[in-house]
Structure 1
Amino acid sequence: MNSVGQTTQPPNYSCTENNASIQFTLSSSSHSASNPTSSCSLQQCNTSLNGNNNCRSTSTPCYDYRTINNISYCAPGILCTILETCDNITQTCSSNNSICIINSCCSSQAVCLPFLATQMCKTGWLYTGNMIDARQYHTASVLSNGKVLVTGGIGNGILNSAELYDPLTGIWTTTGNMTNAREYHTASVLSNGKVLVTGGANSSSSLNSAELYDPLTGTWTTTGNMINARGGSTTCVLSNGKVLVTGGADNNGVLKSTELYDPLTASVLSNGKVLVTGGLDNGYRVINSSELYDPLTGIWTTTSSMNNTREEHTASVLSNGKVLVTGGAADTGGNYLNSAELYDPLTSTWTATSNMNNARLSQTASVLSNGKVLVAGGWNGSIALNSAELY
């Protein structure tokens, strides 16, 4: 897809007025803009035109453009006079990188809107670059430099490989291999920027080993072992800098024990209570229950249940404080999910949100520095996936 041009203003500025002014620098790439102008303005769309959906986001002013067939697209404000016109019969544009639309905000004349403009304000899930290795039961961690570290899992055998995703380019690159191949492990970003990987399983048993990744060197070093071998556990970095490791399973069954990793003796953590969702109960039934851990008191309390039973799903804390849960399996019979839901800690309630493009379990989900969530890999019931998508 060719570039239509980029805004010369910061990409995430706020606009509270009904009229928004956006400045564009038009590129020499193939698109259907003509008579370029340095600035343009557009009245915000009438929300009643499309079921009260006006495309306007909280941080960037986006507007509702519609096709001849009344299909809605979101894009930034662009003055109609800089766009090529198209008619209501052929509905064609001279560039195949544009779509014929009726700009419901400023003109009844059909015009050719460049596709990239519609991507700038698109919501929901978007495809991004594929990982180098297909993998499931892996981990993904957002580093302090904004890149995402993906480690281990199972693809072509149990993996010790690791790779980095750059959200600025959408490209994956290899980095140093872990000391041990592992799946069902955990990864926690410490306050010093290093990543602590714990436990998991190899082809024969659960692991209690742990190792540290240094983003500055791209290398791994071993650190102290956990008290218990455990795979499929969860970890959270607490406000005191320690890492809380909960549950999982060893060679004898499901664990309810927890342990703490102290960064002063080797690691680090995050703020507030810890939400644990779904998984398997002692009868190996998939559940939808949720509970909260308070690191100040060390006490667990129940909270509202998810809309769907899930195991091997992901949970990500968004910039607005809500928790996005994606995918997983609804049962042990192969019912894999593409659904997603949001937990609001202020109301302790769950609401459904838009579905992923692909059903997947044992994928990873990473909150990027721009607020988007990168979901990568997993299993769709037939193969390990290398596809990735953004929320």
Structure 2
Amino acid sequence: MNKRRFHAASAVLNDEMCVAGGMSGEVLSSVELFNPVVNIWTNIGLMKTKRWNHALVFYNGRLFTFGGSDGDVFGRMTRLNSMESYDPREGKFLQPMNEGRSGLSGLVHNNEIYAIGGFNLKSVECYNFRTNTWTKIRNMNKKRAGSCACVVNGKIYVIGG
């Protein structure tokens, strides 16, 4: 990558790997794209909000980044509820989540974005593109941060954390 980073988020964008935000001595807003065919990383823009410990998903030709923290580990650390949409032609803010979430899992399922858990959270909410709203849905059994989530046979599974 052009910038070293940890606690970043990644997604696949048109057969290329995208990494956004993270920490590298400071909280980052940069977004990079890796083309495996030519083995090159390219800076493709900046998020409006610096974030780490956030989620990044690709849906319908756009990247969506949400949650995370905007402060460093030793200073003020705000859990973010904001969500941004990124398209190489434009970036815009969308409806914020109901809760600030850092260390969450995110995924797309049935044309909705899911924000799952986060530090001290067992709640789950989903974003509806048609109504531009977040809705709280059923809680998980346990609080989870730093977990992974995926969809298998139509069911969402949350692993670890």
Q: Which has more strand, going by share of residues?
A: 2
User: Which residue is 2:118 aligned to?
Assistant: 248
Whole-angstrom CA distance in 2 between matches of 1:243 and 1:224: 12
RMSD: 1.6
Unaligned ranges ≥5, structure 2: 72-76, 134-150
Q: Aligned equivalents of 1:150 and 1:167: distance in 2?
A: 14
The residue aligned with 1:198 is 66
1:171 & 1:242 partners in 2: Cα distance?
32
* Structure 1 residues 235-384: aligned runs within 5 Å: 235-238=106-109, 240-249=110-119, 254-266=120-132, 272-279=154-161
Is the CA contact 2:10–2:57 (under 8 Å) kept in the aligned structure 1? no
Deviation of 1:213 (Å): 0.7
Q: Which runs of 5+ in 1 are unaligned?
A: 1-130, 280-391
Deviation, structure 1 residue 202: 1.1
The Cα offsets for residues 226-279 of structure 1, whole Å up to 9 and x where unpaired, read as: 0000011111211x2111211102xxxx10111010121349xx7722221111
Distance 2:131 2:65 in 1: 15
* 1:149 matched to 2:22: no
CA distance in 2, matches of 1:178, 1:210: 10
In structure 2, the partner of 1:166 is 35
What residue is the counterpart of 1:284 in the other structure? none
Give CA deviations for 1:92-130 in whole Å, capped at 9, x if unaligned: xxxxxxxxxxxxxxxxxxxxxxxxxxxxxxxxxxxxxxx
Distance 1:244 1:149 in 2: 19
Deviations 1:316-349 (A, max 9, x none): xxxxxxxxxxxxxxxxxxxxxxxxxxxxxxxxxx
Work out which of the residue numbers 94, 104, 112 in structure 2 matches 1:223.
94
The within-5 A match list for 1:104-143 is 131-143=1-13
Work out whether residues 79 and 102 of structure 2, in 8 Å CA contact, stay in contact via their aligned partners in 1.
yes
Aligned residue pair count: 138
TM-score, normalised by the number of residues in structure 2: 0.80
C-alpha change, 1:266 and 1:193, in structure 2 (3 Å) is: farther
Aligned amino acid, residue 206 of structure 1: R
Decide which of 84, 87, 103 is 1:211's aligned counterpart.
84
**Structure of higher CA gyration radius:** 1
Native 8 Å contact 1:184 1:232 kept in 2: yes
For residue 207 of structure 1, report the CA deviation from its aligned partner.
0.5
Q: Does the 8 Å CA contact 1:177/1:220 hold for their aligned counterparts?
A: no
Query: How big is the shift at 1:188?
Result: 1.3
State how far apart, in whole Å, the 2-side matches of 1:265 and 1:177 are: 26
- Measured after TM superposition, the shift of residue 196 of structure 1 is 1.1
Moved over 6 A (4+): none
Q: Distance in 2 between matches of 1:147 and 1:263?
A: 24
C-alpha separation in 1, matches of 2:45 and 2:107: 24
SS in 2 for 1:158: coil
Distance 1:141 1:258 in 2: 20
For the Cα contact (< 8 Å) 1:176–1:220, is it kept in 2? no
TM-score (norm 1): 0.34
Ranked by relative contact order (alpha carbons within 8 Å, sequence separation 6 or more), the top structure is 2
Q: Does 1:179 align with 2:48?
A: yes
Q: Deviation at 1:184?
A: 0.4
- Partner Cα distance (1:179, 1:197) in 2: 10
AA paired with 2:127?
A: Y
Give the percent of matched residue pairs that are identical in Structure 1 and Structure 2.
36
Matched residue, 1:106: none
CA distance in 1, matches of 2:131, 2:6: 31
For residues 277-304 of structure 1, what are the alpha-carbon distances to aligned partners after superposition, in whole Å with 9 as ceiling and x for unaligned?
Answer: 111xxxxxxxxxxxxxxxxxxxxxxxxx
